[in-house]
Amino acid sequence: MSPPPLKHRPRDEAILRKFIGIWCKKKHDRRDGALCPECQGLLDYALRKLAHCPLDPKPKCKACPVHCYAPEQRARIRQVMRFSGMHLVKRGRLDWLIRYFW
């Protein structure tokens, strides 16, 4: 049985896609817009974990009392979020960061 849909799930999915897309484009030199297999795997993993989150309302992952990511995946997603967040700040795209924090 799948958990009920969460209010912010579409927003969280869009943020994951955007941030991992930035990471892949800049770190793996993917200019065609497609993700490399490594980044696609990370995105699939993160979306799967998001879809099965038992908490409602879902807190931010860094503030969550239940860490569902494996330690390696958690470190990778932190790295991606930190890099992509700074990338957006440096380019004046605060609208994405506002989405992330709201």
C-alpha 97/C-alpha 4 separation (Å) is 26
Question: What does pTM read for this prediction?
Answer: 0.80
Instruction: Say which residues have a Cβ less than 8 Å from residue 8's Cβ, sequence separation at least 6.
Output: 57, 58
Contact 12, 4 (CB under 8 A): no
* pLDDT tens track for 22-67: 999 998 887 777 899 999 999 999 999 988 887 777 777 677 787 7
For the cut 80, the answer to whether the pLDDT of residue 101 exceeds it is no
Residues 69-90, mean pLDDT to the nearest whole number: 91
